[in-house]
Amino acid sequence: MNTAPQNLASPAPAGTGELAARFAREFGGTPEGIWQAPGRVNLIGEHTDYNEGFVLPFAIDRTARVAVRVRPDSTVRLLSTYGDQGVVNARLDSLQPGSAKGWTKYPLGVMWALQQRGIEVPGIDLLLDSDVPLGAGLSSSHAIECAVISALNELTGAGLEAQDMVLATQRAENEFVGAPTGIMDQSASLRGSEGHAVFLDCRDQNARLVPFETQPADLVMLVIDTKVSHSHADGGYASRRASCELGAEVLGVKALRDVQVGDLAEASGLLDEVTFRRVRHVVTENDRVLRTVELLESEGPGAIGSLLDASHASMRDDFEISCAELDLAVDTSRASGAIGARMTGGGFGGAAVALTPVALEQAVRDAVVKAFADAGYKVPDIFTVSPAAGARRIA
Ligand code: ADP
Ligand code: MG
């Protein structure tokens, strides 16, 4: 069975020269620059963001790249190397939530959000090329938005700080795209740095880089995309949020961030059984993020395996957002050599991550592919990611 590194979720990215050549063919002339922004994986800290807690994502070595040129008018021409939509035309003076379809709502949403901040946005020609897999929980949409906002920030001379760009892309996603996302994905994409994870406090939105270097530790981070997207994901998400709000209300705190692990014994007498387990996941997960940060700073990635495992068990048993495919990916990875594994992302499908010794990478890949085949599941997509640089100009 050959599941080796060619098992990529997307084709290799075009080089900058190739992208400029394609730009010339499609739009004529040359782009003013090429900007890139990465997707992200959440290392640990799931469903803690809307409880004003902690998350620890990292920017990955899969990026969206945009070649951009300002136009003298208010026309926007957009083309992606992915799909067959061709060039999409839009007008800057008629941007409003709900007005865009397909992938163009991401770049247009960013342009709209900048307009809402009072920034004069010019018409542009834009060519997108991305190797962030779509819909695998690696935030391909934020990679696009962060690449576009980086380009426009420079081309308009707006001079936005990273945090302003985080909030503008959140507004684009929430109001223009209509996705109720927080600040984690774009914070990782905009603030990420090679060999680091981004430790984010979702209450005050402070971010700090934490060393996360897999290579010197002879480890690789495998992403196992189960290719499962469960239909009850939306309802499940809303009901988990409602449980968290109920828990915070009964416990008399602003958010579950304010409950400590030591408070849980008392909380169990005040909450119904299900709400208690939801609360326990959030409270212990926040604690695990803090302990992961401590261990990464003191000992390195080889020390965090059991925290990843505990995070998965908590999501499976207390928060109940895993599924059979994710559990199989995690259990099989562990059994075949990963030092820690967990589902990552919102749950009910999507991807798992498995921190794996380099020497055992192939064994883990083969074991997971075999286990999925034996169970009659879809063939999973398995690839490595490493902690990479955040959004920047590359040409
Ligand atoms: P995720 O962000 O987790 O990958 P989303 O559903 O939020 O999943 O975003 C996926 C959407 O992003 C796709 O449906 C598509 O509209 C857009 N997208 C991502 N990558 C590309 C690309 N290379 N070209 C065109 N659209 C893309
Ligand atoms: Mg997305």
Q: Which of 140, 227, 234 should be mutated for ligand 1, with most atoms under 8 A from CB?
A: 140
* Dihedral sign from CA coordinates of 34, 390, 321, 343: positive
Q: Report the b/e string of 145-167 with b at 16+ CB within 10 A.
A: bbbbbbbbbbbeebebebebbbb
Domain boundaries 215-385, corresponding CATH code: 3.30.70.890
pLDDT at 12: 65
Ligand 1 in reach of 98 Cβ (< 6 A): no
pLDDT at 9: 41
Return left, alpha or beta for 305; rule: phi > 0 is left, psi -120 to 50 is alpha, else beta: alpha
| Ligand number with the minimum distance to the CA of 346 | 1
| Residue 359 alpha carbon to ligand 2 centre in Å | 33
Q: Helix H segments across the chain? A: 16-27, 105-116, 140-155, 162-171, 184-191, 233-251, 264-268, 273-298, 305-317, 324-335, 361-375
Residue 122 main-chain phi, psi, to 5 deg: -85, 165
Ligand 1 in reach of 134 Cβ (< 6 A): yes
Segments of the chain with pLDDT less than 50: 1-9
Ligand 1 in reach of 311 Cβ (< 6 A): no
**What is the reported pTM?**
0.94
pLDDT at 230: 74
Residues that place a CB less than 5 A from ion ligand 2: 139, 141
Q: Which residues is 26 bridged to in the sheet?
A: none
| Residue 137 alpha carbon to ligand 2 centre in Å | 7
Q: Which of 103, 105, 184 should be mutated for ligand 1, with most atoms under 8 A from CB?
A: 103
Nearest of 108, 202, 102, 186 to residue 146 by alpha carbon: 186
Catalytic site includes residue 272: no
* Cα–Cα distance, 301 to 331 (Å, whole number): 20
DSSP annotation of 387: B
pLDDT at 234: 74
Nearest of 302, 395, 285 to residue 344 by alpha carbon: 285
Return the residue whose CA atom lies nearest to atom 6 of ligand 1: 135
Domain locations along the chain: 16-212+388-393, 215-385
Which one of 3.40.190.10, 3.40.718.10, 3.30.230.10, 3.30.1490.440 gives the CATH number of domain 16-212+388-393? Answer: 3.30.230.10
| Ligand number with the minimum distance to the CA of 84 | 1
pLDDT digits (tens, 9 = 90+) for 200-236: 999 999 999 999 999 999 999 999 999 998 766 678 8
Residue 85 alpha carbon, nearest atom of ligand 1: 25
Residues in Cβ contact with 5 at an 8 Å cutoff, skipping those fewer than 6 apart: 383, 384
Pairing of the two strands 124-130 and 75-80: parallel
pLDDT at 14: 79
